[in-house]
Chain A
Amino acid sequence: MPEIAQVKPKTTTAPNDGSWTYRTRQWVDRVLPIDHLLPHRQPYYVGSWVYVFGVITIAALVWVVVIGVVLSFMGPQWWHVSSLGRFFNSLHFWSVQLFFIFMVLHLWGQYFMAGWRDGRAATWMIGVVIFGSSILTAFTGYLSQQNFDSQFIAINAKDAMNGAGIGAFFNVLNFGQMYGLHVMLLPIVVTFLVVVHIVMVRARGVVKPIDREGGSPS
């Protein structure tokens, strides 16, 4: 019986073997160590209600998405006619109101504490893009209601779209396009950017107060 050669898999223990997985892991370890991603303690200056606005915004976004999934599954007849559907429709609407209210409060807080300092400019700019994307998502939501109100808004909004020169790309009278944007593309954009925003905040930590050492405006 011939012996089967015991070939050990060829491995390398070199610290840098050129593989992209190794380099990616090293990069993640360096940029976002796990104790930054899931901290159990925060600096003393985070003990303020101002820092809660962002968390409430995320909570509202979760509600908006979860209830939106239910609404898209059940359909317009359900959300316009049945009691439970109207309740869920209202939950979706009021969750969006809370989302915008607390997003703007978060914006005020970060503006007055100059939250873009110390290498956090990209975090701030992504927040700006999230704000704009959320407004687009809300507008397409008004167009997706499937009632006379949404038709009235669409008829009036088309002139604004044409006046802005983007009517050829965004036809607000095209329900399918607006609904698709509202339930698929724009929520993915907003959710993805929110995740990136949070990871960037976790990577660098919360910005120090302006009068704190090392936290001077730049």
Chain B
Amino acid sequence: MDIPAHYFDWGFIHISYPNLIVVGVMLVLFALALVAPFPHGSDRDA
């Protein structure tokens, strides 16, 4: 908390690396959720 985070700068985008990592992880999780097979996905009502 006492050490300020480093920032990523690209044009108008100004975001700290911790926040950038969180956003990146969220995008990866969302993409994985769309394509990853769901266990027993076929064992459901039609």
Contacts and interface: CB of A to CB of B under 8 A. Distances in A.
A53 interface: yes
Contacts of A49: 32-34, 36, 38
Contacts of A135: none
A36 to B, nearest CB: 14
Q: Number of contact residues on A: which range applies?
A: 10 to 19
Contacts, number: 45
Interface in A149-192: 149
Interface of B: 1, 22, 25-26, 29-30, 32-34, 36, 38, 40-42, 44-46
Interface of A: 41-44, 46-50, 52-53, 97, 101, 104-105, 108-109, 149
A41 B45 contact: yes
A47 B40 contact: yes
B42 A47 contact: yes
B30 A105 contact: yes
A50 B26 contact: no
Given A49-B32, A50-B34, A44 B45 contact: yes
B26 A47 contact: no
